[in-house]
Chain A
Amino acid sequence: MSGWQQNLIIAPILIPLLAGAILLFFDERQRVVKAMISVVSCLALVAIAVSLFRLASYGPERFEGVYMLGNWPAPFGIVLVVDRLSALMLVLASILAVPTLVYALARWHAAGAHFHSLFQFLLMGLNGAFLTGDLFNLFVFFEVMLAASYGLLMHGSGPMRVKAGLHYIAVNLAAALCFLIGVSAIYGSAGTLNMADLAVRIGEIEGDRRMLLEAGAAILGIVFLIKAGMWPLNFWLPAAYSAATAPVAGIFAIMSKVGIYVILRLSLLVFGQGESAGLGLNVLLYGGMATVAFGTIGVLASQALGRLASYSVLVSSGTLLAVLGLNNGMVTAGALFYMVSSTLTIAAFFLLIELVERGQDAGASVLAVTMEAYGDADEEEQEVEVGVTMPATIAVLGVCFAACGILLSGLPPLSGFVAKFTMLTGMIGSGVSADAPIPASVWWIVALLILSGLAALISMTRAGIRTFWASMEGTVPRVLVMEMAPVLLLIAMTLALTVQAGPVMRYMEETVSGLQQPATYIDAVINARRVGVEEPGGPEGGGGI
């Protein structure tokens, strides 16, 4: 490994880390400086993620996407791996970060201490989880991400957030313990922590050790299912996501996707072939379906927009899980598209909700009451009246809301439709040969997908009518351009996804075909060359400089 391109791989982790650390040296009152550091970091992340995305799309022949930390060879040291999938996730995370951060700058970043540091660390955790090729290191980055998310969830304090935070933390601590048990059971039975090495070794493990390995993997799987929000392990999610401040909920949209990412990664890399192939696919399939059903119910049952959005997260996760459970390349490619689209959608929706509800008297007064009762008057920064009443505010909000509704229910012309269409085509459409019988489970998924879309449609119209036409009479919410622009940007991205569906889907298909050939990944990791070392074995005196 060599060249500056190689060092780009670690940049998505280091940049937010350094930014977060530097931010600690500034006082809370130096808000502008803090905001600037944060924004610059996020923009740099976008640039780097996009470059990595381009590099990864060249394929492993032209870009060696393995970074050996400390120059230690693969199964021993920790490696970071950039392939199409991780590059995609990096891009998604970073382009989600910019609008949510900008949105937060309007008011929310001042609602508590250390918002920017926590935000940066969250990005660090996300990027690390996407990049790492090591199971335990994955745990560490999970914890980084989660720890930051705890802080961000409770950013702004208040009883709802703290209560939700308590549940969220308790659940995630239990999950973290499972994570540790799973990883160590895998280490105890396979003797390695490196994912690629594990994929190699799993073929050689026999008998009892294999069973223990599978037990460990299953326990590990529970963690990712909790994170992804699979029913019945997902009750924490609506409470947490709907309690968080808008920008935080916005960036949280990608957090449940981390679980999905890991499941996708591990199931195809380690459990893609061999004796343990397909471990737990049925759990994904039926669990995913149950999740979609539960999410759909929740979407219908939600009166508050925040909960509606949170349940949409579950629908999105459930869809992905169920669809991944089918283990069908074409569908998986569609699922990746869906993941990107739904993440952007949900983020946009969370951001939008706050603006919309700002116009509603009830919500506003509740907020005011909590602020008064629980805010710490003497230390709290004065709540600045932000936003001006623009004539077109309602119109723009309405258009955005409609766009979100269209996206959530999978109606054309936005990317939600393309996403559903691609998945459905792989399940029941022209992607399946006319002679191939379609199993019942697929029909169930199709039915659930359609019903969930319908539920979103019903709920969103209900909510939209209530907020825009029935109760917003006369009151125009004060909204800053700085808050509106991020929402518009996110929606514009879904529009771009629709227009560029062809190239994007081609990337997704290549991603999936890459995942389906784990040998490439494994070779890249195991045979990655150390700097300044001719042969494996190392020079005299150690890997010194």
Chain B
Amino acid sequence: MNIMDHAVDLPVWAALLVSFFLVVGSGLTLIGTIGFSRLPSFYERIHAPTLGTSWGTGGIVMASMIFFTVLATRPVIHEILIGIFVTVTTPVTLMLLARAALHRDRAEGNPDVLAEVSPDEPKRGPALGE
């Protein structure tokens, strides 16, 4: 792979570190997506992609930061912004989506779903099935 010519000057330790993070990041992401495609219910599937958005992203961000910092011999930290934004924005998506699913399940009277908790019945209520 001559495309990696620019990495000639990279010390081996850095290469190893970068590779580690890369493998961890991409591996976690893959696992997450596998989970996403294999888990049986939506509420379970919703957990899977967070592997990618948490340490999946984190790993690759780390790899990138280390790689460019070592290569450019100056701190390159802008990738961290990606990490921050992904972390902050993913919950928004997930919350909204999960809540939408919840609404639909309740509207359809799906018995597996927890109904909204009313003050008089503080814990687990029956499914909103009417």
The answer to whether A and B touch in the complex, with CB atoms under 8 Å apart, is no
Residues of B within 8 A of A (CB): none
